[in-house]
């Protein structure tokens, strides 16, 4: 069930392998439920849709970082065929499953500490991956209009992906997601992550390369139910 064609196309074109990190751990206090469990107007869970977008753009594997109500989120992934539904449900505060379907599920044990905890968990998992993954594409689950074309533009900008790449989608100049982080930045970034600010301070300090994507999507993140875009 892996969307292997997109990843294979990257390899065939001589492009560096890239993993995806999907941040979906938060409780969604302003939204009213964990956003990992939210669905679009078409009924498709944001979690499933965003994982599919990363896969369609050639990211392999996709690392899904969960936290609040993780068992229910795992069920959504299994129902969509993104992971093996016969695998045991998570029984404790920390779990990590690697499946043959191109998806790695990991829980950030300290997810309640904020976005940085989730990103640390995702990068830590990326560091443990076998193979020569050169970079990760980081996206949160609450950008429902993200599409594969936007991810691909960020991947292909600035002469492609290297271990030193550091770039970010911008929308009319406004920083957003996805963010591409080359492998050389993973450990320095991970040691600096704190609170709910994520990678923003690191990106500013290291002259992140902006990639304008405002002609493709809005890049808007959804914080409350009334702001969910109409399909």
The strand pairing partners of 158, in sequence order, are none
Query: Could you read off the pLDDT of 219-228 as tens digits, one per residue?
Result: 998 876 654 5
In this structure, what CATH number is given to the domain that contains residue 125?
3.90.550.10
The answer to whether the predicted template modeling score (pTM) of the entire model surpasses 0.85 is yes
Domain assignment present for residue 101? The answer is yes
Residue 231 has what pLDDT? 43
Query: Could you read off the pLDDT of 13-69 as tens digits, one per residue?
Result: 778 899 999 999 987 777 878 888 999 989 999 999 999 999 999 999 999 999 988
Place of tokens 């994982």: 51
Cβ burial 30-63 (10 Å sphere, 16+ → b, else e): ebeebbbbbebeeebbbbbbbbbbbbbbbbbbbb
* Domain count along the chain: 1
Helix axis angle for 4-12 and 46-56, nearest 10°, is 30
Domain assignment present for residue 229? The answer is no
Domain assignment present for residue 71? The answer is yes
């Amino acid at each position: 069930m892996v969307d292997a064609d997109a990843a294979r196309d990257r390899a065939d074109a001589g492009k560096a392998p890239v993993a995806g990190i999907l941040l979906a751990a938060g409780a969604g206090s302003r939204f009213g439920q964990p956003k990992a469990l939210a669905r679009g107007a078409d009924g498709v869970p944001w979690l499933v849709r965003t994982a599919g977008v990363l896969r369609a753009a050639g990211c392999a594997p996709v690392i899904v970082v969960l936290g609040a109500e993780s068992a229910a989120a795992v069920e959504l992934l299994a129902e969509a065929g993104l992971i093996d539904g016969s695998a045991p449900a998570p029984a404790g505060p920390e779990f990590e499953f690697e499946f043959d379907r191109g998806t790695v599920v990991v829980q950030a044990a300290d997810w309640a500490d904020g976005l940085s905890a989730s990103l640390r968990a995702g990068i830590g998992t990326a560091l443990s991956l076998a193979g020569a993954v050169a970079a990760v594409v980081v996206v949160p689950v609450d950008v429902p209009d993200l599409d594969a074309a936007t991810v691909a533009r960020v991947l292909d900008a600035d002469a492609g992906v290297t271990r030193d790449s550091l770039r970010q989608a911008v929308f009319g100049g406004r920083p957003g997601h996805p963010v591409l982080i080359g492998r050389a930045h993973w450990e320095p970034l991970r040691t600096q992550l704190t609170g709910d600010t994520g990678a923003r301070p690191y990106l500013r300090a290291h002259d992140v390369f902006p990639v304008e994507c405002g002609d493709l999507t809005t890049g808007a993140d959804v914080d409350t139910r009334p702001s969910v875009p109409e399909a």
